[in-house]
Each structure stands twice: as structure tokens, then as C-alpha cells.
Amino acid sequence: MRSLGTLTGFNSLFRRSKSSVTNLNKINERRRVVVTGIGAVSSLGNNVVDLWRRILNCEAGITKLGSEFKGLPCQVAAQLPREQLQIEKYLSKSDLKVMSPATQLCIIATEEALQTAKLDPKELNSDTLERFGVCVGMGMFDLSEVYGAWQQLQKGYNRVSPFFVPRLLPNMPCGHISMRHGLRGPNHSVSTACATGSHAIGDAMRFIRNGDADIMLAGSGESCIDPLSIAGFCRIRALSTAFNETPSQASRPFDKNRDGFVMGEGAAILLLEELEHALQRKANILGEILGYGLSGDAHHITSPSEDGAGAALAMIRAIKDAQITKDVVTYVNAHATSTPAGDRIEAQAICKVFGDHVNKIRVSSTKGHHGHLLGSSGNLETVILIKALAANKIPPSLNIEELDKDICVNVVTKPEIWCHDRQKTRVALKNSFGFGGTNSSLCIASYIG
């Protein structure tokens, strides 16, 4: 009897063990992450509707700089139409004192993202707010703020604003967004130069996928078009100087006559959500984040390696993380900033990654429209990509009069239909690369329920 009891006990233990394995498998099933809200402020307008409309109309938001920039080699930038922002609609005078310009733009973009997602944090219960996080970064702070504070210090210690340091901290957009809406989930800030926005989206996706949150606001803001910043980028010969009299033609990714990037400013925020959570509240799903790849060039502080190894690794890892094959990808939204070396190296990296399939992939960079927003470029371009997926249209690269002979990819110069079968899932990569050799690639798809 004792032997039988032992056997019965073993069988019971085995059944429990088998059940535990089943539960573990359920836990290990990947949570899918979708986009349900988007918001943006850029030189093309203070909302996503205007941004997308002007891109499809092949318009550029690049203009001539003011008199305070006199004497600098670069005289163009993609500046915000600040008179149209209606900042007072979103922020009080007290808010403006404690928030940097980049943080202010993030707040405005966040409001639009929440509105398009039809999600009001005030209506959420405490448990939901504890699983609602923020992952918003900043590539670099406004250097004019530092210079202004230094000038005040020369007049006396008490002239320095008590909000000087809080306004500069790169994590303050996260802080202000979370405090404004009572969000107590992961509060994480990213600052990886021009890859900041993409890294923020990728990190937020992982927080949801790993079960740390159900909802995340992700993106970045940048506002540093000032004489000192422009002078600094001019000194490293990064900015365009050949089109000062024709600003709208200055940013020209992949064109033979490109001579540097055009500084831009703005912010873009995406609302990411776990799929089942989004379906349960009947949210309008705009797209799905499938994968995220990161890498380092380990080469130079500003220049990518000639072989494009870092860029290629990021793309390969994004595809692997998405659990797809490379032949599924049909479009790459390139980082391509309009620098002679960077555009060429990225194009060659795309060819290296996709091999024979590269002939079936279309490529474009929208920086000809809105300039290079530094740390807020990857997230703004992801918003554009989300619109492209939903509208089944590929956005164009502007100002290509003659394609550089070293560009080995199919560059789109006019808006194109993405896929004639709208029911077919469309898959794309979004590349972002930054000083210090930091690289990010997102794999994003249309959502077909």
C-alpha cells in the first residue's frame, strides 16, 4: 500500500509539474505591442494631420535663420511655427518657468497622442495607472539656457534661476508627463544623441513585452536651434552651407549634391499598448512594433565605420527580434541625414543586410521635409511611418535632382502606393544612428486584426 501511495503521490506531483510547465509556457508567450496613439510637433505643423498632409504634398518646413545667426556658415533650419503652437492652451505660466522648451513640446505632443488613442488618464483606476509608464528622452539640452545662466551668474549668484538645473535634465519630460497624468509605471529616460527617439520607443516596447507595463508613452523632444548649437555643428562641418539662399532645398538625403544636415526641432510621442489591453478597450490600432535591434559602431565619435557594420547589426537584430525573415520587409525608413558619408554608408548597409532582396525594398528619408531633429528624429519619423503603414503610402525623399552613384538602394522620390493588396501586412524598418556610434532599428508592421 505504501508503494501504491508513493506512486499515487508521484503521479499527482507529475500532474502538478506538467500544469506548471503549461503555465510557464503561457508566461513565456510574447506579449504583442501595438501603437494606439500618436502626437507630433514639428516645422511642418503642430499636429500629425498637418505633418502627414504636407509630407504627401512634398513640402519642406525649412526656412532662413534670423539676424542673431549672422556670420555663421549655416543660415537655414527647420524651425517651429511657434505662433501656431498655442502653448497657453496646454501650459500655465508656472509650467513655462520649470519646463525647458523641449519638455514643453513633449507635453503638447503627449496631449495629441492621448487624444488620438482616446485614452484619458483621469478616467483610469489606480491599478491601471501603476502599469502606465513613460519613456521619453532628449538628445541634448538647449545650450542657450546654459549660456544665459552663465551671464546671469556674472551679475550675482541670486540671479541664477532655481529652475536652471531641473530645466536641463534630460529625464524631465518623463517626470512632467508622469506627474501631469498620475502615471506610476516605468519612468525611464533615454539620451543617445540622434538615436534617442528610436531607443525610447524600443525600450518602451520591451517594458510592455516583458510585463513591466501595459501602456507606455514613448518618444523624445528637441529644441536647440540657437547660435551656439548651430556654431558647434558648423565647426564639425556637419551642417549644410551650400543652400543658404534656397532653404527648402538644403536637406537632400541621397542626392549627389548633399553637403550636410539641416537642424530641426520638435517632439513626437507614441502611445504603445499591449495588444489584449488595446482590444479590450476597443482601441483603434495604428500599427504594431515587431522588433528592436541595437548595436555600437565601436569606431569614431561622429563618423560611422565605412563598412556600415554597426548599422547592419542593428537591422539584423531588429529582424531577428521580430521573428520574421528579411524577405518580409518591403520598406526602410532611413536615418539618412543628408551628409555625404552617412547616407552612402547606410545605403550600403541596407544592401548588405538584404542581399538579393534589396531590389524589392523601397527606401526614403523624410528629413528633406522636416530637417534633422537630432534626438527627436527617430520618433518623429516613426510617427510618419505609422501614418504610412495605415494609409498604405510610402513617403518620399525630397530634393533628389541626381541620385548619388554610390547609393545602391531604390529611393522613393514621390509618394507611392505601398501595396496594392491592402489586406496584406506591410512590414518596415526604421533606422536611427547617433554620435558615439550608437545605432537603433525598429521593425514595425501594419496591423490587420
pLDDT tens-digit profile of 30-85?
A: 999 999 999 999 999 999 999 999 999 999 999 999 999 999 999 999 999 888 88
Residues 321, 315: contact at Cβ < 8 Å? Answer: no
Residue 121: how many CB atoms within 10 A of its CB? 17
Q: Which is nearest to 257 in space by CA: 192, 340, 319?
A: 340
Q: Where are the domains of the chain?
A: 33-445
E-strand stretches of 282-352: 287-296, 331-333
pLDDT score, position 216: 98
Task: Please report the pLDDT score of residue 28 as a whole number.
Answer: 56
Please indicate whether residue 143 or residue 340 has the higher confidence score (pLDDT). Answer: 340
Q: Which of 174, 194, 351, 443 is catalytic?
A: 194
d(CA 266, CA 376): 7
Helix (H) or strand (E) holding 214: none
pLDDT in tens, 187-229: 999 999 999 999 999 999 999 999 999 999 999 999 999 999 9
Rounded mean pLDDT, 137-153: 91
H or E stretch covering 64: strand 63-64
Active site residue 224: no
As a whole number, mean pLDDT of residues 153-163 equals 95
Q: Is 88 exposed, middle or buried (0-12, 13-18, 19+ CB in 10 A)?
A: exposed
Strands 393-394 and 416-417 turn out to be: antiparallel
In angstroms, rounded to a whole number, what is the distance separating the alpha carbons of residues 379 and 392?
Answer: 19
CA dist 294 and 198 (Å) reads 10
Residue 129 has pLDDT above 70, yes or no: yes
Distance CA 4, CA 37 (A): 61
Distance of CA 125 to the CA centre of its chain: 29
d(CA 437, CA 79): 27
User: Can you give the pLDDT at residue 251?
Assistant: 98
d(CA 40, CA 28): 34
pLDDT tens figures, 340-382: 999 999 999 999 999 999 999 999 999 999 999 999 999 999 9
- Domain 33-445 adopts which CATH fold? Peroxisomal Thiolase; Chain A, domain 1 (3.40.47)
Which helix (H) or strand (E) covers residue 444, if one does? strand 438-445
Q: How many helices (H) and strands (E) does the chain have?
A: 16, 15
Query: What are the E-state strand segments in 118-240?
Result: 132-137, 187-188, 215-222
Share of the chain above pLDDT 70, in %: 94
Note whether 394 and 388 are within 8 A (CB).
yes
Task: Inform me whether the pLDDT recorded for 7 exceeds 80.
Answer: no
Distance separating alpha carbons of residues 80 and 316, to the nearest angstrom: 35
What are the helix (H) ranges across 79-195?
A: 87-90, 93-98, 101-117, 126-129, 143-155, 164-168, 172-181
Residue 230 parent element (H or E): helix 227-235
pTM of the model: 0.92
Instruction: Provide mean pLDDT across the span 423-435.
Output: 95
Return mean pLDDT, the chain. 93
